[in-house]
């Protein structure tokens, strides 16, 4: 409908019924690419007033005794049909953890959409969401190997960006999930096997903590160092012993790590 109005110059579009004089029903609301519904707006206003009470002086009054009762409403936040519209490929959706179209698609496993977005010359592949996750780290957490592979082929990809809370890179996230395939892809692409998180643990130490034998074997095979001492003085042997991971403990001793 938007194209008929603004591209073809059609004045009125109606749906259904016989061609006769009388009331007509015109459709609407078809051009929006990002809808902001009244429920979300009401929640956001309430949160704002809770965080800062002074906002009540200028935010809308949502009392139920208003003259006009509105049960449902939504607002179009982004036009995405008109040919003259310049679309920001990296626009952030604030109601969805500050994610872009790329980070959202990577998180949901939409491989074809990720592939199309990566073809755009202005795509920013390393943007972080509210928690510090990039498209690469989100795909890693969800185990979407094909999306990880697509992202690793992009020339601007940064491999060692850390999420905010614990400082875990994509490699650490893959290792603690025993995702040997992603660990191998990341190391082969140049990820730093010695990068430490906020607690001083490397990918190898986190693999040991969670009993991830497959990931640890890949780290070893790809020449990632098994020597690590975190902020609490823990080594890989301490982690294996505390977690009761006898198979990993035997592997570490075989690699020459001092049992004492």
Q: Where exactly are the structural domains of the chain? A: 1-16+31-87
Q: CA dist 100 to 21, 122, 124, 215, Å? A: 47, 13, 9, 30
Handedness of CA 102, 104, 107, 108 (dihedral sign): negative
- 13 versus 159: which is more confidently predicted? 159
Question: Looking at residues 129-149, what average pLDDT do you find?
Answer: 96
Question: Looking at residues 79-96, what average pLDDT do you find?
Answer: 71
Question: Looking at residues 45-50, what average pLDDT do you find?
Answer: 80
Helix axes 111-118 and 101-108, enclosed angle (nearest 10): 150
pLDDT for the residue 64: 62
Judged on CB neighbours under 10 Å (0-12, 13-18, 19+), 153 is exposed
> Could you tell me if 173 and 212 are in contact, meaning their C-beta atoms sit under 8 angstroms apart?
no
pLDDT for the residue 260: 44
Question: Looking at residues 176-203, what average pLDDT do you find?
Answer: 94
Q: What is the pTM for the complete model shown?
A: 0.67
Q: Is 81's pLDDT higher than 60?
A: no
Model confidence band, residue 240 (pLDDT cutoffs 50, 70, 90): confident
CB atoms within 10 A of CB 245: 21
Q: Is 80's pLDDT higher than 60?
A: no
Model confidence band, residue 253 (pLDDT cutoffs 50, 70, 90): confident
In this structure, of 13-22, 38-47, 208-217, the range with the lowest mean pLDDT score is 13-22
Q: CA dist 211 to 47, 65, 175, 232, 235, Å? A: 41, 59, 10, 19, 14
In this structure, of 50-64, 88-102, 138-152, 158-172, the range with the lowest mean pLDDT score is 50-64
pLDDT for the residue 78: 58
Average pLDDT for the chain: 83
Q: Is 99's pLDDT higher than 60?
A: yes
- 19 versus 212: which is more confidently predicted? 212
Question: Looking at residues 68-93, what average pLDDT do you find?
Answer: 69
pLDDT for the residue 129: 93
Question: Looking at residues 2-21, what average pLDDT do you find?
Answer: 69
pLDDT for the residue 34: 61
What's the CA gap between 34 and 128, in Å, rounded?
Answer: 20
pLDDT for the residue 201: 92
What's the CA gap between 197 and 206, in Å, rounded?
Answer: 10
């Amino acid at each position: 409908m938007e194209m008929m109005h603004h591209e073809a110059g059609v004045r009125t579009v109606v749906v259904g019924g016989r061609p006769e004089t009388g009331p007509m029903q015109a459709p609407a609301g078809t051009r929006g690419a990002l809808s902001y519904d009244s429920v979300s707006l009401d929640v956001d206003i309430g949160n704002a007033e809770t965080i800062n009470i002074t906002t009540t002086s200028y935010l809308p009054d949502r009392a139920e005794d208003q003259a006009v009762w509105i049960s449902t409403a939504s607002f179009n936040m982004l036009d995405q049909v008109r040919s003259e519209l310049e679309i920001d490929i990296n626009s952030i959706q604030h109601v969805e953890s500050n994610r872009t179209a790329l980070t959202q698609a990577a998180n949901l496993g939409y491989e074809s959409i990720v592939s199309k977005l990566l073809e755009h010359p202005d795509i920013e592949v390393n943007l972080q969401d509210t928690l510090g996750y990039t498209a690469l780290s989100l795909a890693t957490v969800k185990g979407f190997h094909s999306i990880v592979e697509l992202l690793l082929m992009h020339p601007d990809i940064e491999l060692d960006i850390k999420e905010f809370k614990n400082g875990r890179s994509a490699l650490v996230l893959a290792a603690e999930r025993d995702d040997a395939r992603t660990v191998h892809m990341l190391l082969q692409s140049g990820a730093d096997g010695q990068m430490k998180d906020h607690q001083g643990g490397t990918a190898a130490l986190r693999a040991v903590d969670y009993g991830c034998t497959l990931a640890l074997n890949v780290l070893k095979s790809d020449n990632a160092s098994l020597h690590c001492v975190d902020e609490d003085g823990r080594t890989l042997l301490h982690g294996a012993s505390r977690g009761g991971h006898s198979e990993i403990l035997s592997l570490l001793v075989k690699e020459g790590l001092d049992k004492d």
